[in-house]
Structure 1
Amino acid sequence: MKLHRLELEGFGPFRERQTIDFDLFDAHGLFLISGRTGAGKSSILDGVCYALYGTAPRYDGGDRGLRSDHCDPDEPTEVRLEFTAGGHRWRVTRSPEYDRPKARGDGMTTQKSAVLVEQLAGGEWTGRTTRHREAGDLLDEILGLNRDQFQQVILLAQNRFAEFLLARNDDRQALLRTLFGTRRYEEYEKAFEQRRRTAQLVLDADRALLHSQLDNAESIVADNNLAGASGDSAAAEDSDPPALVDSDADRLSAVQRAVPRARYRADESARRRGEAEDEHDAALAAFGARSVLRKRQEERLASRLALSALEARGLDTAADRMRLDRARSAEALRAPVESAAHARTVAARAAEIEGAARAAWIAAGGADADSSALRTLVDAIAGDLAVWANAAATERTLPALESARARADESVAALETALSALGAGRAARAARIAVIEPELADAEAAAPALDPARELLESAVTRLAAGQDAERLSQVARTAEVAHLSAVADLELASAAVRNLLERRLDGFAGELADGLTDGEPCPVCGSVEHPHLAAAAAEPITDDAIALAEAALDAANRAASVASAKARTARAAHADAAARAGGQTLPRLEAAHSEAEERLKRAVAAADAIARHKRELRDLRETDASAGREREILASRLSDEREARAETIQRLNAAHEAVDAARGSFAAVADRIASAKHRRDMARTLADAADDRARGEAAAAEAEIDRDERLTGSDFADAAAAVEAMLDPAAQQLLAERVRTHEVALTTERERLLALETELAGAPDELVDLDEAAATASLARETWNAAVATAARDAEVAAQLADAASRAATAHVAAQDRQAECRLIVGLADAVAGRNDSRMDLETFVLAAELEEIVQAANLRLEAMSSGRYLLQHTDAVGARKVASGLGIAVFDAYTGQARPAQSLSGGETFLASLALALGLAEVVTARAGGVRLDTLFIDEGFGSLDEQSLDLAMRTLDELRQGGRTVGLISHVAAMKEQLPAQLVVEPTSQGPSVIRQDAGVPA
């Protein structure tokens, strides 16, 4: 990285824009930044660091203090830096946040911090980003160094020069961790520690599982008395409890020895179950045989009784058979008898109907006539009805035609009225348009602008919300400050309590020691065997628990104070942000501005609404007028069509009246005449049909009676009444036949069954055999068998459970052994990585120690020359006092004494030389680790005044070597000898008005 140009305006002590051209010093390589104390020499380095990283070495708290106090409120603050990195030229422009006067109105407003990163391409600067986060990421990528690395290897700032040399092991580790990015090793340590804890938890879980499995197996052994005595066979049983064992392996072995005992017991129980089952089967078979004999005896007795009952019902069955035969003979005459009766009934009914129809015909004025004459009359009436039907249809259309004529009259009248109304509306609209047009022009000329009013209201709303937030957050900040003050007070009280306990504990140690002394026994402190003045023991001795409780309270108070401090800082920042967004205005002024903006917007909106209403009304009137013209044309065309349709309707109505009058005759309506003719026709047709039906019925009845009488002559019945009396319906016949057949089948079946039973039980007594004794024997055998089955099942289940438990315990034992070996390995690794070893060096420290060795080697190349061969830096990994972590120590070897000495023992000048050599060595190693970042520009701030003339000369020679390869080194110093040696200078001079200016003198190259 090489710097080219730096511009400072309104920054630190510089009010006017100051420009530094670093390229003018390329020919010298070394240049001096000089000036009086407080003139602003270090502010040049602050400007470089602020341009690149947004912060300065002396202003780590933010950028609010970077603005020059000499600036007027309306003057800007800006830093611009041009540099080359990675073969490209870049320009960064930054300005911090500061307050400036408002562009409009009174008061101040906050000028936000800004950044611009540009790249030179094709002779023109091209902007890359203006966002702070993007600028930070882009510059980190371009530079290859973060801010801490930059300040260690390029910008060696004042008051931080010797930090690395004199740092403690922990502080040096924190800095090296940042420079070399070794925080991941700390993550490795945490990961291994987590793995160690996890492995231990898993091992504990495996051991707990093993003990659970052993406990389960041992409970099975104990509950079932399976723990045999030492030397007993597997079949032996012992009621004594299991012997105590000293290890998991012994417990597992004892469980495994009980498994064959359980299996032997299960086998014996299974054998006894088989014997009991055989005895039960035999008893059950005996009981079954006697049960079968008794059942057959009971069946024989029941069969004898059933046969006697069937034989007693024989006479009733014979009577049923005779009745069934007579009914079957009468069934053959059923059809002719019923046909003759039905035919006679039909003939009588037809005669009644004919008589009624003839009487009605004569009563209506008809002449008595036969069927043929009546049918001729019916045909004549049908011809007249066909003619009158058309006239009746025309008659039914008369009301519709009358209504159509009336509607036509109304339609014509309505169209004429509508045309008249359209003419009147057109005149009214023309008058309204003449009024609206000038009103619209006046409203458009007087209306205020709407968009500026909206923007003004949005700004007022934003500021009012910010002011309300500031009002609310002010109280929150005050509350947080009070809470912080209270937490600090509690912390002080807790700290005082711990100090008081420790002081009392120390005061009481002498008394505790005195209580343990015995005359003649030596004192563990002084060795004396005489104890003339024993210290008094404390009235209330201070215990470790009391101190631990007080320290715990101190820790809690410390945490509470930290939390309260963070909350207070957050509340203050939030309030400051809200106040800045509110523009520094009070809440009443913000509310008034908001109300004024709202009123202005309301007036603008009202004016815009009025203009819109006038435009809408004007547009509607014109559209309505155009629509009314089109409607008038349509209505005129419709009026012509309606008048023609009305004339046609009148013509059709007159023709219909003429046709209906001709067909009506003497009746009130054609429909009345048609109804009268249809009634006469229907009466004539009914009488003719009844006469024909009566003649056909008489002939059919005579024929059916002749057939019936012929069939009765050859039958067993004297007349039709006897045959009807013997008849039965099919269901009754079926029931009677089924009753006869059922009795015959039952009688035959029962005789055969009784014969079979008598044959089977030949020789068996008639008395029923007794079953109680056989049942008792079978029940006892079943109980014995059930008990044997339950015992065998229980013993088999116990054997299976014990075998499974023993197998699980063995598996858990093997797993626990494997897990223990794995856990031992992981614990060893975790301890090694975490530095729990004799050297007290963790993995990260080990890696950083290697880096530190390279840094020390690089530093010694220059320190040996600058100290004339007296001093060399040494890396030491010796364990500190009280086993403090080690690995990153730095000692100084003094060739004059041949001994190593602490760096803190060096004088001021020696410390400067050693720090300079170490800083340069650190710069070289960090640069190499950062991907070969090229350091073409280097700054060293102060420290040369502590050197004598010879040491200064040696240091200058060393720095002169840094110029090789085109490097430029800037030195900040008050030493007069350096002003003489370095003609290229930047002189920072304060003016009489206060602000400083920079004078650049390139000098003459040596």
Structure 2
Amino acid sequence: MRLHRLEITAFGPFAGTQVVDFDALAGAGLFLVHGQTGAGKTSVLDAVCFALYGQVPGPRGAARGLHSDHAPPGLGPEVVLETTVRGRRLRITRSPEWERPKKRGSGTTRENARVVVQEYEHGGWTGRTTRIDEAAHLIEHLLGMTVHQFWQVAMLPQGEFAAFLRSGADKRREVLERLFATEVFAQVERWLAERRRQTGRAAEELRAEAESTADRIAELTGARRPEPAKASRPRLAEPADEPADIEVLGPWATELAGQLAAVHDETAAVLAGAEAALAAARTAADRAKALADMRRRYADALRRRDALAGHAAERSELAGRLETAARADRVVPLVRAAADRAGRADRAARRAAGRRAAVAGLVPAQAPEDVLAKAERLRRDEAAALAGRRAEEVRLRAATAELAALAAERDGLAAERAELSAALETLPGRVAELRTGLESARLGAAGLGGAEGAVADAARRLDAAVRRDRVTGLLAAAEDEHRAAVDAAQEARDRQQELRRARLDGMAAELARGLVAGEPCRVCGGTDHPAPAAPSGPAVTAADERRATAAYEQAQASREQAASRVQGHRAELDGLLENAGETPVEALAAAHAAAETAREELAEAAAGAERWAAELARAEAELTAARDRHDTVAGALTAAVTRSDELAAETDRLRAGLAEARGEDPSLEARIRRLERAADDLAEAAAAQRDAETAAGELAAARATAEEAAAEAGFGTAAEAAAAAPPEAERAALRDRIRALDTEEAAVRAVLDDPELAAAAAGPDPEPGVYAARAGAAEAAHTTARSAVDRARRRVDRLAELRGVLDRRIAAWRPAAHRHAVAAGLAAVAGGDPAVNRERMRLSAYVLAARLEQVVAAANERLGRMSSGRYVLRHTVDRTATEKGRRHGTGGLGLIVVDGWTGRERDPATLSGGESFISSLALALGLADVVTAEAGGAEIGTLFVDEGFGTLDEDALDEVMDVLDGLRDGGRAVGVVSHVAELRARIPAHLRVAKTRTGSTVTVAAP
């Protein structure tokens, strides 16, 4: 991927449109991005990342919106990037979500994020997509890396890699997991752990089911269940390696089944004998009981025959009464019909007399039926004619109510019109007055924006001046310390070299002190020592030399730290001078106070303008509403007057017509009801007269028929025949008594005529109680034996059923236990369980450790050059002292630094600032190589190194610049983001970012 051109509008600190020509900067291969603190150097990199991925990594992208605070409210943020990826020239135009002012009214509205991706082909730009998701898929596919990977690979943020270098394994793991696709291995760990839990639960549930079945067998048989040995924690081994488990339950259940079968056979033999004895006892008892019953029945029949002889006369008298009642039954219905007709004739006569009295004032007293009917028709015809005028009465009530409502409405409308007319006389003057005041206030508040900018600029310069004076003192003190440290380091160096030379001069005497007579010399091998050398002065030992070397290294480290402090204060002072210059603090404080006073005055004017505008808007709205309402009220009042006149004429006409129709009655409805009641009374009187005449004729005919029927039945009168007919209940009792006597006589005769009963009565007493007692005893013995057999059979059957269940559950448990053993062993290895994983590393940590080894190998290729061969990074799986107390599975990501000068291993935290910078830069470059290769992404043609060069001395800076020069191989362009002033002279191509009160700007300076 190579960047060509970047255009930034209203994005981050850039208020207007700024253009970065990367092609011009890439001509030199190496270019510098510099500027004041906070000017927006890193924001240029953010714009590149946002154009590609639509987001800014880290806290800068989440802390606030990307729309520039310096840009006009209506200017939307936009980034346009031209780049070549895998040989394809793309132009990406992207805007973030932002709030723009509404086109109508006040307030803001949200503008959604958008993107346009174009490709240059055939001499012009061709659109590829305008969808955000499609653009993201296209860019990630071409680059082959996510936004976090791109930020680490193409932008090389040194602050993050310095923290990565010094942090523990957990922090390194977080960074590496973002860059490398290790989620699948973490998912494997989680899947294996979950599989271990699932198989464990399944095996334990099946074990519990088998043991539950064994408990039921023990409860059934009364035997004690053997306790199976619990399996140890599953290992990567076959189930045969585990202790004996629930397999013992099957043989135990088989043994119990044999015992229950023997018990069942014994009880079955006892039951067979009890059944034979019971059958014999029951036969003898039944025979004795039957003979005693026959003797009892014969004696009872003799007693009943003697009692029936005294009831012969009673039966004859009952039969005569039933015959007389049968003759009277033919006359009784006719007598009852005549009595019913008499009642109906009496009721009809009384009703006819009452109805005649009700219409006495309407027709003559003895008027016939046709006169009554004619009077009814006349009154019904008049009532029907009056009913047709009911609608006039309803309309009169509605018109009267509407007329009253219109009167109230007219009064209200007249009062409202008077109020509106008064308001229309005063509101126009009020509006004109408010408009004049608003114009005056706006003129006074026009300069508020400039005043606020002046206050912010004055405050910034004042803070910079205060800090400038303080840093000036710190710089002077640091320079003094640095000069002292240089002198001390030089003295220590001279002392070390002097002792080394003295020791070398006295080395012969030192070797001579170790010679022993008869033993070979370590130099020449001879056993004779005729003239051993003697020291010419004070002896210098190896310990003296080591102490001098340590003192020199300590003095050199102090010198480097002092130089780092001087460079830091000097760089900070340069930036402060760019902001505050040489102006005294007092003068800047006075300027800040004056700007603050001017801003407060203009703020008061601006607040007044807002109040004037709000009052003017309310007054104008009130005036418009008053005019519209006045016109509406005037029209409504005119319509109400016209409608009142129409309704008044209509009510007068309806009242006159209704008064004529009701006559002397209080209302039309009362007259109609009076006529309808009179017609109903006349109709009822005519009907009652007809009914009375008909009932009298029917009564005379019924009485004659009843007398004729009584004479034919042998009675003197109909009344005599009615008295001879008893009630039906009495007749039923007579018939039941006769039938009972006949039935009893037949039953007694049948018993006395039976020869078997007669023979039984003549024989001896059979004594049935004795035989019944013997049968009861046999029945009890049989029941006891049957119960014992049933219990034994049920226990045998139930045990067979439970044995089948137990065998099935044990068979189901075996494969489940094996699966759990395998799953538990694999989960322990993948989870870093020290019992099976001697490295105590999780699977995901192991994969990340392999990636870290690749990163370290790539980093050492450059670290050796930048440190002049002194330092080498080494990856280790050993946990540090702080990590050893943690749970297993967290190691494998350790880093140590090997010092080639001393041969010792060092913790990265002990490196100096410059050493940490070159180490973290080497890590960053190594990680970029590994991530690019791992992701299969495009070659990075434009690379940025962000900050950290201020910690390097001159020699280290030369080495680092050589490495950066080497990055340009293959036409790669490298951008260095730094404050260090010395780099401006070393790197001729510059991208300068300058900040102003109205926003930042960029300037490209290429050789």
Per the normalisation by structure 1, the TM-score is 0.55
* SS of residue paired to 2:839: coil
Letter in 2 for 1:217: I
Distance change in 2, residues 1:324/1:937 (3 Å): closer
Inter-CA distance 977–203: structure 2 relative to 1 (3 Å threshold): same
Determine the C-alpha separation between the residues in 1 that align with 2:404 and 2:251. Answer: 120
Cα deviations across residues 804-840 of structure 1 (Å, max 9, x unaligned)?
Answer: 4433433343333332211110111101211230233
Asked if residue 619 in structure 1 is aligned to residue 635 in structure 2, the reply is yes
Q: How many residues align?
A: 734
- 1:901-948 residue CA offsets vs partner (Å, 9 max, x unmatched): 779599988876665454334223323545624533211244475645
Q: 2:472 maps to what in 1? A: none
1:412-435 alpha-carbon deviations (Å, 9 max, x no partner): x999x99x9999999999999996
Aligned partner letter, 1:48: L
The residue that corresponds to 1:797 in the other structure is 794
2:169 is aligned with 1:172: no
Please say if residues 936 and 968 of structure 1, whose CA atoms lie closer than 8 Å, have aligned partners that are also in contact.
Answer: yes
Which letter maps to 2:6? R
**C-alpha offsets along residues 60-102 of structure 1, whole Å, 9 cap, x if unaligned?**
994699999xx999999999674547654235678999xxxxx
Query: 1:868-947, aligned counterparts within 5 Å?
Result: 886-888=891-893, 904=908, 915-930=920-935, 932-933=937-938, 935-941=940-946, 942-943=948-949, 945=953, 947=955
How big is the shift at 1:743? 3.8
Q: Does 1:273 align with 2:277?
A: no
Residues 437 and 951 from structure 1, CA distance in 2 versus in 1: closer, same or farther, beyond 3 angstroms? Answer: closer
> What is the SS of the residue equivalent to 2:945?
strand
Task: Using the TM superposition, give the Cα deviation of residue 745 of structure 1 relative to its aligned residue in structure 2, in angstroms.
Answer: 5.1
Deviation at 1:196, TM superposition (A): 2.1
In structure 2, relative to structure 1, the CA distance for the partners of 1:606 and 1:730 (3 Å cut) is: same
d(CA) in 1 for partners of 2:147 and 2:814? Answer: 52
From the superposition, tell whether residues 621 and 443 of structure 1 become closer, same or farther in structure 2 (CA, over 3 Å). Answer: farther
- The one of 777, 781, 784 equivalent to 2:781 is 784
Which secondary structure state, in structure 1, belongs to the residue aligned with residue 967 of structure 2?
A: helix
- Equivalence for 2:988: 983
Counterpart contact for 1:88–1:119, Cα < 8 Å: no
Correspondence for 1:289 among 252, 270, 287: 287
Letter in 1 for 2:643: S
Contact 1:983 1:1002 in 2 (8 A): yes
Give the RMSD, CA atoms, in angstroms: 7.2
Q: Who is 2:197 aligned against?
A: 197
CA contact (8 A) 1:94 1:113 kept: no
Instruction: Name the structure 2 match of 1:770.
Output: 767
Q: Which moved more, 1:171-180 or 1:45-54?
A: 45-54
Residues 684-703 of structure 1: per-residue CA shift (max 9 Å, x gap): x99xx99x999x999x99x9
Contact 1:31 1:983 in 2 (8 A): yes
2:587 aligns with none
Partner of 2:6: 5
Distance 2:747 2:975 in 1: 139
Which amino acid is 2:823 matched to?
I
Whether 1:1002 aligns to 2:1006 is yes
Aligned counterparts of 2:367 and 2:109: Cα–Cα separation in 1: 114
Distance change in 2, residues 1:394/1:187 (3 Å): closer
In structure 1, the partner of 2:425 is: 442
Equivalent pair of 1:871/1:892 in contact (CA under 8 Å) = yes
Inter-CA distance 137–596: structure 2 relative to 1 (3 Å threshold):
farther
Q: Hey, what does 2:827 align to over in structure 1?
A: 830
2:281 and 2:775 in contact (8 A); partners too: yes
**Given the superposition, is the C-alpha separation of residues 177 and 900 from structure 1 closer, same or farther in structure 2, using an over 3 Å criterion?**
farther
CA distance in 1, matches of 2:77, 2:406: 79
Letter paired with 1:847: V
Report the counterpart of residue 222 of structure 1 in structure 2. Answer: 222
Q: Is the 8 A contact 2:11 2:77 kept in 1?
A: yes
Measured at CA, do residues 6 and 858 of structure 1 come closer, stay the same or move farther in structure 2, by a change above 3 Å? farther
Q: Give 1:1002 shift.
A: 0.8
Distance in 1 between residues matched to 2:405 and 2:977, nearest whole Å: 100
The 1:308/1:939 distance shift into structure 2, 3 A limit, reads same
CA gap 1:948/1:402 in 2 versus in 1, 3 angstroms: closer
- Determine helix, strand or coil for the equivalent of 1:313: helix
Aligned ranges for residues 183-332 of structure 1 at < 5 Å? 183-222=183-222, 248-317=246-315, 331=327
Q: CA deviation at 1:597?
A: 12
Supply the AA of the counterpart residue of 1:305.
R
Change (3 A) 1:205 1:957: same
The 1:310–1:989 alpha-carbon spacing in structure 2 relative to 1, beyond 3 Å, is: closer
Structure 1 residues 856 and 632: CA distance shift in structure 2, 3 A: same
Compute the displacement of 1:305 (Å). Answer: 0.8
Structure 1 runs not aligned, ≥5 long: 98-109, 228-244, 354-380, 453-583, 585-591, 651-670
Deviation at 1:274, TM superposition (A): 3.8
In 1, the alpha carbon distance for the partners of 2:854 and 2:964 equals 24
Q: Choose which of 49, 56, 72 in structure 1 pairs with 2:46.
A: 49
User: Counterpart amino acid of 2:41?
Assistant: I
Give the whole-Å Cα distance in 2 for the aligned partners of 1:382 and 1:253.
121
Query: Secondary structure of the equivalent of 1:154?
Result: helix
**Cα 1:386/1:827, change in 2 over 3 Å:** closer
Q: Distance in 2 between matches of 1:624 and 1:282?
A: 119
Which residue does 2:841 correspond to in 1?
841
Deviation at 1:961, TM superposition (A): 0.4
The answer to whether 1:810 aligns with 2:807 is yes
How far, CA to CA, are the matches of 1:430 and 1:323 in structure 2?
A: 104
Q: In 2 relative to 1, CA 623–751 (structure 1 residues): closer, same or farther, beyond 3 Å?
A: same
Give the counterpart letter for 1:828 in structure 2: G
Q: CA deviation at 1:622?
A: 1.5
The answer as to whether partners of 2:34 and 2:992 remain within 8 angstroms in 1 is: yes
TM-superposed deviation, 1:262? 0.5
- The corresponding residue for 2:155 is 155
Contact 2:39/2:994 (CA < 8 Å) preserved in 1? no
Alignment of 1:472-491 (within 5 A): none
- What secondary structure sits across from 2:943 in the alignment? strand
Q: 1:440 to 1:767 in 2, by over 3 A?
A: farther
Q: What secondary structure, in the 3-state scheme, does the structure 1 residue paired with 2:940 have? A: coil
| 2:91 equivalent in structure 1 | 89
What is residue 659 of structure 1 aligned with on the other side?
none
Note if contact 2:117-2:130 (Cα within 8 Å) is conserved in structure 1.
no
Contact 2:291 2:760 in 1 (8 A): no
Amino acid at match of 2:639: E
Name the aligned partner's letter for residue 925 of structure 2.
L
| Deviation digits for residues 668-717 of structure 1 (CA, Å, limit 9, x no counterpart) | xxx9xx99xx9xxx99x99xx99x999x999x99x979x97xx99xx9x9
Q: Distance in 1 between matches of 2:702 and 2:208?
A: 114
Change (3 A) 1:334 1:448: same
Q: Are the structure 2 counterparts of residues 447 and 615 from structure 1 closer, same or farther at C-alpha, using a change threshold of 3 Å?
A: farther
Q: Deviations over 1:829-880 (max 9, x none)?
A: 1012112302333221233344445545655776788899999877665787
2:966 matches 1:958: yes
Contact 2:8 2:19 (8 Å CA) reproduced: yes
The Cα shift of 1:301 comes to: 0.4
- Partners of 2:6 and 2:965 in 1: CA distance: 27
2:410 and 2:637 in contact (8 A); partners too = no
Structure 2 residues without counterparts, runs of 5 or longer = 100-106, 227-242, 347-364, 436-599, 601-607, 665-678
**Residues 124, 632 of structure 1: alpha-carbon distance in 2 compared, 3 angstrom cutoff:** farther
Equivalent runs, 1:451-850 vs 2, <5 Å: 614=630, 617-628=633-644, 630-631=646-647, 743-744=741-742, 746-756=744-754, 758-762=755-759, 764-765=761-762, 768-836=765-833, 837-850=837-850
Residue type of the partner of 1:752? Answer: A
